Amino acid sequence: MGRFDGRIALVTGGGGGIGSAIARRLASEGAHVVVTDINAGAAQAVAAEIAAAGHASSAIAANIAKSNECHALVSQVLAAQGSVDVLVNNAGINRRGNIMAISEDDWDATFSVNIDAMFHLCRAVIPQMMERGGGAIVNTASQWGLHPAPNHIAYNVSKAAVASFTQNLARDYAPHKIRVNAVCPGEIHTPMLEAGVKRSGRTIADLDRLVPYGRIGKPEEVAALVAFLASEEAPFMCGSLVEITGAQAVA
C-alpha cells in the first residue's frame, strides 16, 4: 500500500526538474499523477517515464498564466479522473533584475505564473475538495521569498506572495480539512539553475560552497518533502512554510 493509493494528484510545472521529481515520487507511492506543463513534450515525456515504471500518469499541456486555461485544466482532470485530491502548485519562472532593470512584461509574467495561477487553480480545485471532505495543496515558494536575494525583485516578491497566499488559504480552509502548506527550497540542482549558473559565469561547485551542508539540494529531496506534506503522515500541518536549504538561509 502506498501513501497515495487511489488519489489523484495534479502537478504543475511537471515537466521541469523539481516538478518531474514530484510527479515521479507521488506516482511511486500510488497516486495517479496528472503532469501538466506549458511544454507538452516535456509533460508527455515525464508521464511516459512514470508509466514505463509501472505507475499511473497522464499529461495535459496548459499555459497556466491564462486564467481560462487553469479552469479548463481542472475541468479536464475532473472529467477524466473524478477528483483532484492533491494539488501541487509547482510551476514558476524567474526573471532577473532590480526594479530599474526588470521590464514591466517580465514583472507581469512573473506574477501571472508564480502567484496568479495558484489563485485560479485553487479556486477551481477547492469546491470539489470541500465536497469530498478535504484534500491537500502544496505550493512551491522559495527561501528567497523569505530571505530576499539581490537583483531578483520580481521573483522574490512573487514567492513572498506565495508564502502569504499559503497561510491565508490554510486559515480559511482548514475547517474544511483542506491542508495547505508550502515548501521553500534553496538552491536546487535543476536545468533552470544550471542555465542561470552558465549565464553568471559561476559553477555548481561555487554554489555548493555557499551552503553550510556542503552542497546544493536535489530535486528528489524537495519531492520527498512535498510527498510528506501531502500525505496523511502530516495531518496537523496546515499553513506551514517549510524551508529546505541545507541551512543556507541561516548562514
Q: Considering the entire predicted model, what is its pTM? A: 0.97
Are the C-beta atoms of residues 77 and 84 closer than 8 Å to each other? yes
Determine the structural domain holding residue 51 and report its residue range. Answer: 8-250
Identify whether 3 is part of a domain.
no
Identify whether 62 is part of a domain.
yes
Are the C-beta atoms of residues 215 and 186 closer than 8 Å to each other? no
Identify whether 194 is part of a domain.
yes
Task: List the grid coordinates of 197.
Answer: 549558473
With vertex at residue 119, the alpha carbon angle to CA 151 and CA 113, rounded to the nearest 5 degrees, is 40
Identify whether 1 is part of a domain.
no
Are the C-beta atoms of residues 112 and 38 closer than 8 Å to each other? no
The set of residues, in sequence order, having a beta carbon less than 8 Å from that of 250 and lying 6+ positions away, is 212
Cα(168)–Cα(171) distance, integer angstroms: 5
Within 10 Å of residue 17's Cβ, how many Cβ atoms?
Answer: 19
Cα(91)–Cα(229) distance, integer angstroms: 18
Instruction: Reply yes or no on whether 173 is catalytic.
Output: no
The confidence score (pLDDT) of residue 251 equals 56
Looking at the 3D structure of the chain, how many domains does it have? 1
CATH of the domain at 82: 3.40.50.720
The set of residues, in sequence order, having a beta carbon less than 8 Å from that of 107 and lying 6+ positions away, is 95, 154
Are the C-beta atoms of residues 179 and 234 closer than 8 Å to each other? yes
Identify whether 230 is part of a domain.
yes
The confidence score (pLDDT) of residue 199 equals 86
Alpha helix positions (H), 174-212: 191-200, 204-208
Catalytic residue among 144, 155, 165, 173: 155
Task: List the grid coordinates of 249.
Answer: 538561509
The confidence score (pLDDT) of residue 76 equals 98
Identify whether 2 is part of a domain.
no
pLDDT in tens, the chain (251 residues): 799 999 999 999 999 999 999 999 999 999 999 999 999 999 999 999 999 999 999 999 999 999 999 999 999 999 999 999 999 999 999 999 999 999 999 999 999 999 999 999 999 999 999 999 999 999 999 999 999 999 999 999 999 999 999 999 999 999 999 999 999 999 999 988 898 888 888 999 999 999 999 999 999 999 999 999 999 999 999 999 999 999 997 65
List phi, psi (to 5°) of 99: -65, -25
